[in-house]
Structure 1
Amino acid sequence: MNELGRLDDLPADYVEALKKQNLVPLWPSLRAVLPPGRPRPLTQPTFWSYEALRPLLLKAGELTPIEKAERRVLVLANPGHGLENMKASSAMYLGMQLLLPGEWAPAHRHTPNAVRMIVEGEGAYTTVDGQKCPMSRGDLILTPTGLWHEHGHDGSVPVVWLDVLDLPLVYYMEASYHIDGPRQAVQPGQGERRYARGGIVPTPVFERTNTPYPMLRYPWSEAKAALQALAADQPQLASVQVTYTNPETGGHAENILGFYAQMLRPGQTLRLPVRSPATVFHQIEGGTTVTIEGSAFALAEADTCCAPGWSEIVLANRSDTEPSFLFLADEAPLHTKLGVYEVRG
């Protein structure tokens, strides 16, 4: 392959003339934007310890009242992108959010999609588009693009959840904004009750609601039971994983990022295929060693790590007697829509 010319090969007056016309020569940067063979992600394998993070988050609760924070969050930032850019990967944002007893985070809506994976505590709720969603550990709650949502807390202990948003992508597209709104009136009905059984959905005898997100809360009790049933039904299955889906369409629960629950059998080690999207791993129950391109992270409950796309990833349950349960988020739906999704190995 021929070596491409460099910018400093060009006369200075020529480069200056290009700048005056808002022009840039491609060839000095061609290999940077089109590297040979595979991408070169800026995303680095990164680990966030909940044990180390939690006291800092609680301290934030002492230092900043909810009225001044609106959303009291510590962002899990990937150093490969620069901490100031607040990215876990090129398309995913992660944050640990704290709500204290008696607090209310006011209603707003925004263009980025978000989900909440509940980490600890009881008594809080998220109201999404008028639907009140109780928050218990391991539950997944959607706040899709454009839907009003607010957080309240009627309990007695701090509640913490992991936010996952496609904010970096929406911000890059110059499409990110929010609108504040009044407190929502709670409407009757809960999606997780209407869609409580797999393969069975309500029949629209008279009219179809055309609700794009018919299910907003995915209880951990149901996801865990599905994983355990799958493992028992298919003992030969290597990867015991379920996908959080839209029960009406069968597609992903949201339209940019994918969300999953993974179970590792006692003592199991699982080598994942090399895939193009970045992946986030969050420990719900048990303990898992996640090895990403040779970097090993020992996840305890509520710990989180991020793997760049195109990474070799190995998951190992550290217990020989108990299963391990993980929540996963990735960029697979986005890659699929763009036609750049790849699997190797």
Structure 2
Amino acid sequence: MNELGRLEDLPQDYRDALKAQNLVPLWPSLRAVLPPGKPRPQTRATAWSYQALRPLLLQAGELTPIEKAERRVLVLANPGHGLEKMQASAAMYLGMQLLLPGEWAPSHRHTPNAVRMIVEGEGAYTTVDGEKCPMSRGDLILTPTGLWHEHGHDGDQPVVWLDVLDLPLVYYMEASYHVDGPRQAVKPGHGERTHARGGLLPTPVFERSSKAYPMLRYPWVEARAALLALADDQPALEAVQLTYTNPATGGHAENILGFYALMLRPGQTLALPARSPASVFHVIEGALEVQVEDPHAPQHFQLAEADTCCAPGYTPITLINPRADAPAFVFMADESPLHQKLGVYEVR
């Protein structure tokens, strides 16, 4: 293939004339935006130790009152994108959020979709669109685009959760904003109770529900039991994995990012194929080794409970449960729904 011309090959007066008209020659940058064979992700394989960041998060609670922070968060930033961009991958934002006893994070709504994976503590809650969702370790709580939400804490110990948002994508589209609101009135009803039994959905005889997201809280106790039942029912199943779904549509729980619960049997090794979307792995219970064939630099992470790592797309990943006496339970997030909607989803 012939080498493309460089910008420096063009006369300076020609370059100045282009710049004056807000014009840019494509050919010097063509291979950067359309590389041969496969993309060149900026996302790097990166891991964050919870035991290392936890003291810093608690110190943030001492340094900055909730009234000044509104949301007290340490962002898990990927160095491949630059720490100042505060993103874990092209479309995913991660943050560890702290709420102390007696605190209340005021109500607001915003255009990015968000979920909360509860890491530690009891007694806190998120109120989403009037539904009060209690927080327990391993629970997944949705705060979809445009829905009012606020956080409160009636317990006596710090509560921490992992935020996952599609903020980088929404910000890139110049569609990111928030609106403050008054404290919400709690409405009756709990979606996780209404949709607690697999294969059974409420029947709208007289009036169809207007809720686009009828289930906002996915209790870990239910997800864990479902994983154990699946593993027991299908002992030859290689990947014991469940997808968090919208019970009304059968699709993903939210419309941009995908969320999953995975169980690795004691001592199990699971080789995942190279897929186009970036992925996030967060250990709920047990331990996990993650081998990422990152083209920049292959990585081998040893994760303990509450640790998190990110892997770029188009990259083979191997997951290993190093413990021979206990399963490992992992929360996963990825960009699959976005890639599928755009028609760029690939498995290699």
- Which residue identity lines up with residue 320 of structure 2 in the other structure? A
Q: Which residue of 2 aligns with 1:106?
A: 106
Cα separation, 1, equivalents of 2:133 and 2:201 = 20
Q: Which residue of 2 aligns with 1:318?
A: 322
Q: Which residue of 2 aligns with 1:89?
A: 89
Cα separation, 2, equivalents of 1:123 and 1:326 = 23
Shift >2 Å, 4+ stretches: none
Give the structure-1-normalised TM-score: 0.99
Q: Name which of 336, 340, 343 aligns with 2:344.
A: 340
Cα separation, 2, equivalents of 1:209 and 1:282 = 33
Q: Name which of 328, 333, 339 aligns with 1:329.
A: 333
Cα separation, 2, equivalents of 1:56 and 1:177 = 28
Cα separation, 1, equivalents of 2:12 and 2:23 = 14
Q: Which residue of 1 aligns with 2:312?
A: 308
SS in structure 1 of the partner of residue 80 of structure 2 = helix
The answer as to 2:191 corresponding to 1:187 is no
- Which residue identity lines up with residue 295 of structure 1 in the other structure? Q
- Which residue identity lines up with residue 197 of structure 1 in the other structure? R
Cα separation, 2, equivalents of 1:90 and 1:236 = 35
- Which residue identity lines up with residue 334 of structure 1 in the other structure? L
Q: Which residue of 2 aligns with 1:68?
A: 68
Identity %, equivalent residues: 80
SS in structure 1 of the partner of residue 225 of structure 2 = helix
1:273 positional shift = 1.0
Alignment of 1:201-212 (within 5 A): 201-212=201-212
Q: Which residue of 1 aligns with 2:42?
A: 42
Post-superposition Cα deviations, 1:160-208, rounded to whole Å, max 9, x if no partner, equal 0000000000000000000000000000000000000111100001010
Cα separation, 1, equivalents of 2:216 and 2:253 = 9
1:300 positional shift = 0.3
Q: Which residue of 2 aligns with 1:26?
A: 26
SS in structure 2 of the partner of residue 213 of structure 1 = coil
Instruction: Provide structure 2 residue ranges, at least 5 long, that are not aligned to the other structure.
Output: none
Cα separation, 1, equivalents of 2:274 and 2:344 = 14
- Which residue identity lines up with residue 286 of structure 2 in the other structure? G
- Which residue identity lines up with residue 167 of structure 2 in the other structure? L
Post-superposition Cα deviations, 1:288-330, rounded to whole Å, max 9, x if no partner, equal 0011113110110000000000111000001011000000000
1:210 positional shift = 2.6
Post-superposition Cα deviations, 1:244-298, rounded to whole Å, max 9, x if no partner, equal 0000100000000000000000000000011000000000000000111131101
Q: Which residue of 2 aligns with 1:134?
A: 134
Count of residue pairs the alignment pairs up: 344
Q: Which residue of 2 aligns with 1:166?
A: 166
SS in structure 2 of the partner of residue 247 of structure 1 = coil
Cα separation, 1, equivalents of 2:208 and 2:168 = 34
Q: Which residue of 2 aligns with 1:220?
A: 220
1:234 positional shift = 0.5
Post-superposition Cα deviations, 1:87-146, rounded to whole Å, max 9, x if no partner, equal 000100000000000000000000000000000000000000000000000000000000
Q: Which residue of 1 aligns with 2:10?
A: 10
Q: Which residue of 1 aligns with 2:144?
A: 144
Cα separation, 2, equivalents of 1:210 and 1:238 = 39
Cα separation, 2, equivalents of 1:248 and 1:338 = 23
- Which residue identity lines up with residue 318 of structure 1 in the other structure? P
1:3 positional shift = 0.5
Cα separation, 1, equivalents of 2:343 and 2:67 = 43
Cα separation, 1, equivalents of 2:225 and 2:35 = 44
Cα separation, 1, equivalents of 2:312 and 2:110 = 27
The answer as to 2:51 corresponding to 1:51 is yes
SS in structure 2 of the partner of residue 343 of structure 1 = coil
SS in structure 2 of the partner of residue 271 of structure 1 = strand
- Which residue identity lines up with residue 280 of structure 1 in the other structure? V
Q: Which residue of 1 aligns with 2:264?
A: 264
Q: Which residue of 2 aligns with 1:240?
A: 240
- Which residue identity lines up with residue 65 of structure 2 in the other structure? P
- Which residue identity lines up with residue 51 of structure 2 in the other structure? E
SS in structure 2 of the partner of residue 328 of structure 1 = strand
Cα separation, 2, equivalents of 1:263 and 1:275 = 20
